[in-house]
Structure 1
Amino acid sequence: MTTARTLTVPAPAPDAATRYFGAELAFEVDPDDLVQDLDAGRVDGYVVVETRAEEAFKAARIPGAINLPYTDMTAETTQHLDRDLVYVCYCESINCNAATKGALKLAELGFKVKRLSGGISAWIAAGNPVEGARETAGIRCAC
């Protein structure tokens, strides 16, 4: 009998899977969880951060997000941020790593961070609301 390609590499033991997937959820939030929190007004404890350039933020953004391009993140530009909050970074999509770069910079500066899975493209694809001049038109990396 031939082994299924899916099982060529065996699944991890449950304790290893618990550690791995628990860590993954500690680092990321998905659009559905975020929109449910925003819709319910559960916004205490975190800030949504657009990590792309200002023109991308002006074109389309998650409602309530702040713009802090990862290229501009320094101790000086982040000194006004509350270190007790979690900063949920997002960018264009899985094809853009501005959110990862922003989350890394914020973490290096001593902030707690998460990344929004799939960026604003996944947010829009799920039918979630956006604000901005162009809203859904012309979403691009812009980092």
Structure 2
Amino acid sequence: MNIDPQRAAALFAERLATQTDASDVHAALTSGEPGFVLIDARGPQAWAQGHIPGALHLPHAEIPARAPGLLDPAVPVVAYCWGPGCNGATRAALALSLLGYAAREMIGGVEYWAREGFALRGADGDATRPPDPLVAPAAASCGC
């Protein structure tokens, strides 16, 4: 396998600049000053099924029409969708970027948010499930 280290470093730096994960988003939100607006890019039924507390519901198809009236261009945004098998967060982050927002994608989506044991908000309030040991560290953090 022939890998150019500089090309790889550029790719990894780009991914870190444009992606974040559920654990980092959770830590930022619980800090009280996350420094971004969290966008749930899923449709109304998915939003009602359960969403991340504090997220703004802005389905990706509605971003071009609604984002300018909802979002401050000076505040970064983080978009999420269902999970790794869905590219809705990528499409949302692209649409937001094209409108001039500093956008990132939350990899893993709401699936990994829930699998890490973080609360989802639904019609009956907030609910959590036990962390999945396959994706969530046994300690307070994975140490990365």
Shorter-normalised TM range: 0.7 to 0.9
Please give the secondary structure, in 2, of the residue aligned with 1:19.
helix
Please give the secondary structure, in 1, of the residue aligned with 2:39.
strand
Matched, 1:63 2:53: yes
In the TM superposition, structure 1's runs of 4+ consecutive aligned residues that sit over 2 Å from their partners are 15-18, 133-137
Task: State the alpha-carbon separation in 2 of the partners of residues 38 and 73 from structure 1.
Answer: 22
Root-mean-square deviation (CA), in Å?
1.8
Matched, 1:51 2:41: yes
Task: State the alpha-carbon separation in 2 of the partners of residues 42 and 11 from structure 1.
Answer: 39
The equivalent residue for 1:5 is none
Alpha carbons 2:119, 2:128 under 8 Å: kept: no
Please give the secondary structure, in 2, of the residue aligned with 1:49.
strand
- Show the 5 A alignment for 1:1-143: 9-13=1-5, 15-43=6-34, 45-74=35-64, 76-80=65-69, 81-133=71-123
Structure 2 unaligned blocks of 5 or more? 130-144
Q: Could you state the TM-score of these two structures normalised by the residue count of structure 1?
A: 0.80
Alpha carbons 1:60, 1:136 under 8 Å: kept: no
2:13 maps to a residue whose letter is G
Please give the secondary structure, in 1, of the residue aligned with 2:110.
helix
1:10 maps to a residue whose letter is N
Task: State the alpha-carbon separation in 1 of the partners of residues 66 and 51 from structure 2.
Answer: 20
Rg: which structure is higher?
1
| 1:34-71 Cα deviation digits (max 9, x unpaired) | 1111122232x210000011221122111100000011
Higher relative contact order (CA 8 A, sep 6+): 1
Structure 1 unaligned blocks of 5 or more? 1-8, 138-143
1:16 maps to a residue whose letter is R
Task: State the alpha-carbon separation in 2 of the partners of residues 20 and 126 from structure 1.
Answer: 27
1:38 maps to a residue whose letter is L
Give the length in aligned residue pairs. Answer: 126
Task: State the alpha-carbon separation in 2 of the partners of residues 128 and 10 from structure 1.
Answer: 40
The equivalent residue for 1:3 is none
| 1:69-108 Cα deviation digits (max 9, x unpaired) | 011122x412221001111000001111111111111111
Q: Could you state the TM-score of these two structures normalised by the residue count of structure 2?
A: 0.80
